[in-house]
């Protein structure tokens, strides 16, 4: 039996970040991953044609580039191969009437586009941008602190010192508001509001869901302020750099080794038993970078003293499902709204509040949406190295979809199992995309479709194709993530900790939970 100070179960980026920090503090660390490839939801693979590199799931690395973990390990990660490429034309929305609106890092450029719709809104955007420079340090301090903790209290105290109770009230309203309510309170033009609200469906916030305003606000202002970061050659550059850094610090990575059981003794997690029977022992901690339902539903034996906790974990809700469509193209889409859209990292096809609300409601009702929301990523517009010269890749995230199909809102698809329905639904998605970019079908050299079921097969933590590892609605966020009273990564099993998207601060490639749990353990 091999003994380590800490064992990390799962080689997603949070688990790897935790292992890197512990190894840097002198701990003997092993990361154990059932897949033959590290990365979790951050993987780059040639799934269409040779030479075309597609980010399977996550592609936006802005959160990582702005994270406390990156600030602490930036030089080491770059030495170990991390490459980031910045996008100055960040996100945009194309509308059904053939118009578009987009955000570029040049404030004057963005404001001019908004002013063409509403001079008043252009002024409001610039004011929000100026306020963000003052408010962002406090908000990011809150997001970067365990919940609850003295760090989170200090972040709120910082808001109070800067803006007194008015600042606390404004932050509370932002956190509690729906996207539509927040945006209606600040802007008048519908297209601007819709462009910003589309970020809500990157999580699981329809336009009228309470708690959904924070992400559209942060993404809109952060993209205006800092741009967007993509991985050079693919998002896997983060994972590759983390793995190289870990091994250079003496840590171990064991791929293709499924953990069958987390073993306990006297109420404490002591070891992991791998497929094949080998046992790794942990002297100080076991960190599970895995969905709580997998940890407490499969990896741990039942315990009558844990019944109430296990029941709450079992009730932890998934967000809606996602479909990913990857295309190898001979050239970028010819957007009907204008050739300028070819420069943007993201083009959202979420043309109205009504379209977003309908897609969200239909998916939550088990129906295939008549018109889904599409997040169209154009990474080769920013990083040409991802495709052979002159060619391109397209990253299409379909939001939101049911994990289990009860029917089709359009009444056209009769299949109720994703293995039979995925190609039919992908055809609907491509037809919708073609309506915004005529001639796209003639540019397609190859394609690959991942249904919600395929996504879960690729990564069991993404239950039902939920790329969030759990809904981010208010009752499952902040101190409620994943279970009230257990939001600080500890669990009722002594020595066992959780990290990953199911824990605070949630989904996204930010390494937040992994870094925070490692700092709590080793300083």
Q: Is residue 452 in a domain? A: no
Instruction: State the greatest distance between any 2 C-alpha atoms of the chain, in Å, as a whole number.
Output: 69
| Secondary structure in 3-state letters for 51-67 | CCCEECCCCECHHHHCC
Looking at residue 18, which CATH number applies to its domain? 3.50.50.60
**Is 136 found in the same domain as 195?**
yes
Residues in the chain where the model's pLDDT stays below 70: none
Only one residue has tokens 């033959």, namely 36
Rounded Cα gap, residues 259 and 295, in angstroms: 10
Q: Are residues 215 and 256 in the same domain?
A: no
**Domain limit, last residue, from 200, 226, 252:** 226
Same domain, 69 and 19: yes
150 lies in some domain? yes
Instruction: Output the DSSP codes for 133-163.
Output: HHHHHHHHHHHTS-SSSHHHHHHHHHHHHHH
* Domain containing residue 66: 2-42+56-81+234-316+470-522
350-383: string of b/e by CB count within 10 Å (b at 16+)? bbbbebbbbbbebbeeebbbbbbbbbbbbbbbbb
Contact (CB, 8 A) for 503 and 293: no
Residue 202 lies in a domain: yes
The HSE-up count of residue 494 (CA atoms within 13 Å, CB side) is 7
Residues 208 and 115 in one domain: yes
The confidence score (pLDDT) of residue 70 equals 98
Q: Is residue 121 domain-shared with residue 60, that is, in the same domain?
A: no
Assigned domain for 489 exists: yes
Q: Would 442 be classed as within a structural domain? A: no
Is 503 among the domain residues? yes
Residue 221 sits in the same domain as residue 142: yes
Residue with tokens 């590759």: 240
Residue 376 pairs in a beta bridge with 347, 396
The answer on 178 and 124 residing in a single domain is yes
Domain contains 167: yes
Query: Would you state the pLDDT for residue 1?
Result: 80
What's the CA gap between 146 and 513, in Å, rounded? Answer: 8
Shared-domain flag, residues 31 and 113? no
pLDDT digits (tens, 9 = 90+) for 150-173: 999 999 999 999 999 999 999 999
218 with 110, same domain? yes
39, 12 contact by CB (below 8 A): yes
Distance between CA atoms of 389 and 119, rounded to whole angstroms? 42
Which residue, among 281, 255, 249, has the nearest Cα to 268 in the 3D structure?
281
291 and 254 co-located in one domain: yes
Looking at 195, 226, 257, which one is the last position of a domain?
226
Same-domain status, 117 and 210: yes
Could you say which of 226, 260, 276 is where a domain stops?
226
Report yes or no on 372 lying in a domain.
no
Give the closest residue to 472 by CA, choosing from 201, 219, 244, 173: 201
Tallying the residues shown for the chain, one arrives at 523
Domain count, the chain: 2
- Interatomic CA distance for residues 277 and 271, integer angstroms: 12
Q: What is the pLDDT of residue 188?
A: 98
Assess whether 120 and 221 both reside in one domain. yes
Phi, psi of 51 (to 5 degrees): 90, -10
Residue 104: count other Cβ atoms within 10 Å of its Cβ. 22
Is residue 515 classed as helix, strand or coil in its secondary structure? helix
Q: Would you say 396 and 57 are in contact if contact means Cβ atoms under 8 Å apart?
A: no
């Amino acid at each position: 039996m091999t003994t380590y100070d800490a064992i990390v179960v799962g080689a997603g980026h949070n688990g790897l970040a935790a292992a890197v920090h512990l190894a840097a503090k002198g701990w003997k660390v092993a990361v154990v991953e059932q897949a033959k490839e590290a990365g979790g939801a951050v993987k780059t693979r040639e799934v269409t044609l040779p030479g075309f590199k597609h980010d399977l799931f996550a592609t936006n690395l802005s959160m990582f580039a702005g994270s406390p973990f990156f600030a602490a390990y930036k030089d080491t990660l770059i030495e170990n191969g991390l490459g980031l490429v910045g996008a100055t034309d960040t996100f945009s929305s194309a509308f059904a009437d053939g118009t578009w609106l987009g955000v570029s890092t040049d404030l004057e450029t963005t404001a001019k586009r908004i002013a063409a719709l509403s001079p008043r809104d252009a002024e409001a955007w610039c004011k929000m941008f100026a306020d963000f420079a003052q408010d962002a340090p406090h908000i990011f301090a809150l997001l970067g602190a365990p919940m609850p903790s003295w760090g989170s209290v200090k972040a709120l105290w910082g808001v109070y010192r800067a803006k007194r109770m008015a600042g606390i009230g404004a932050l509370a309203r932002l956190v509690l508001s729906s996207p539509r309510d927040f945006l209606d309170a600040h802007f008048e033009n519908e297209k601007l509001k819709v462009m910003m609200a589309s970020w809500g469906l990157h999580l699981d916030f329809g336009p009228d869901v309470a708690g959904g305003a924070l992400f559209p606000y942060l993404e809109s202002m952060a993209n205006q302020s800092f741009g967007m970061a993509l991985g050079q050659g693919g998002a896997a550059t983060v994972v590759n750099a983390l793995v190289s850094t870990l091994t250079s610090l003496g840590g171990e990575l064991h791929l293709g080794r499924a953990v069958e059981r987390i073993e306990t003794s006297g109420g404490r997690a002591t070891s992991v038993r791998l497929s094949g029977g080998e046992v790794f022992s942990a002297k100080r901690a076991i960190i599970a970078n895995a969905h709580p339902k997998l940890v407490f539903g499969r990896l741990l034996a039942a315990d009558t003293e844990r019944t109430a906790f296990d029941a709450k974990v079992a009730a932890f809700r998934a967000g809606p499902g996602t479909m990913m469509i990857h295309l190898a193209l001979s050239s970028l889409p010819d957007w009907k709204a204008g050739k300028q859209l070819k420069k943007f990292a993201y083009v959202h096809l979420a043309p109205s509040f009504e379209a977003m609300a309908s897609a969200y409601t239909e998916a939550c009702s088990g129906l295939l949406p008549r018109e889904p929301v599409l997040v169209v990523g154009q990474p080769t517009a920013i990083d040409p190295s991802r495709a052979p010269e002159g060619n391109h890749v397209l990253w299409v995230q379909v939001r939101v979809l049911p994990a289990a199909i009860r029917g089709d809102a359009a009444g056209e698809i009769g299949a109720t199992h994703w293995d039979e329905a995925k190609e039919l639904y992908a055809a609907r998605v491509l037809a919708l995309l073609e309506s915004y970019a005529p001639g796209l079908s003639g540019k397609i050299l190859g394609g690959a479709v991942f249904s919600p079921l395929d996504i879960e097969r690729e990564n069991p933590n993404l239950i039902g194709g939920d790329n969030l590892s759990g809904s981010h609605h208010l009752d499952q966020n902040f101190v409620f993530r994943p279970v009230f009273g257990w939001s600080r990564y500890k669990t009722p099993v002594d020595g066992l900790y959780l990290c990953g998207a199911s824990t605070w601060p949630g989904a996204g490639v930010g390494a937040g939970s992994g870094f925070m749990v490692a700092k709590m353990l080793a300083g």
